[in-house]
């Protein structure tokens, strides 16, 4: 019984903290965050319950100039780490979705198009660095999935999410 209480407290503490987008990471850190679990299928059983495993994802701080989908030079170290991670043997056969996100400034239609263009800029960069374009897809989310819904205009909402697809 005590173990379940500790697990519940740990789980609650983990969920109470808002996820933080990554500004810097090594390829090894990204591999650890994106590598699939070491079992087959997308469900696990614990006792009589099946648990559906959620795809792993990371939110990266990828900055753009205002009203632009052109990558800034300052993004290169983080994106280069992502390239190296995607070429790692643990991720070489994994497909990824690149989601572009914006903050809530501007119209929904404009931000949807801008976020798609930004995701495509990241795809172009990764592809130019040797990541197989066939294992990458893009999706613009606009401001439909804010990282910080209570702060819709926060810069942290402007990001690119990388999700390992099952």
Global pTM reads 0.77
For the chain, the domains span 19-36+43-165
SS3 category, 113: helix
Assign a CATH topology to domain 19-36+43-165: 60s Ribosomal Protein L30; Chain: A; (3.30.1330)
The per-residue pLDDT for range 11-37, each reduced to its tens digit, is 434 444 456 788 899 999 999 999 987
Model pLDDT for residues 34-46, shown as the tens digit of each residue: 998 764 444 555 5
Cβ–Cβ < 8 Å for 104, 153: yes
End-to-end CA distance of the chain: 34
State the Cα–Cα distance between residues 15 and 152, nearest whole angstrom: 20
Q: Helix or strand or coil: residue 37?
A: coil
> If you compute the radius of gyration of the chain from its CA atoms, what whole number of angstroms results?
17
Q: Per-residue pLDDT averaged across 76-92, rounded?
A: 96
């Amino acid at each position: 019984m005590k173990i379940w209480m500790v697990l519940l407290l740990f789980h609650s503490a983990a969920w109470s903290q808002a996820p933080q987008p990554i500004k810097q990471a090594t390829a090894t850190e990204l591999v650890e965050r994106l590598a699939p679990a070491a079992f087959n299928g997308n469900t696990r059983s614990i006792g009589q319950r099946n648990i559906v495993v959620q795809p792993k994802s990371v939110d990266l701080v990828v900055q753009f100039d205002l009203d632009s989908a052109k990558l800034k030079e300052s993004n290169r170290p983080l994106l280069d780490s992502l390239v190296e991670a995607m070429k790692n043997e643990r991720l070489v056969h994994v497909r990824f979705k690149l989601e572009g996100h914006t903050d809530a400034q501007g119209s929904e239609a404009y931000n949807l198009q801008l976020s798609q263009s930004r995701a495509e800029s990241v795809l172009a960069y990764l592809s130019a660095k040797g990541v197989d374009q066939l294992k990458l897809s893009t999706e613009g989310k606009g401001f439909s999935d804010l990282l910080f819904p209570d702060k819709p205009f926060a810069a942290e909402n402007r990001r690119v999410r990388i999700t390992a697809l099952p």
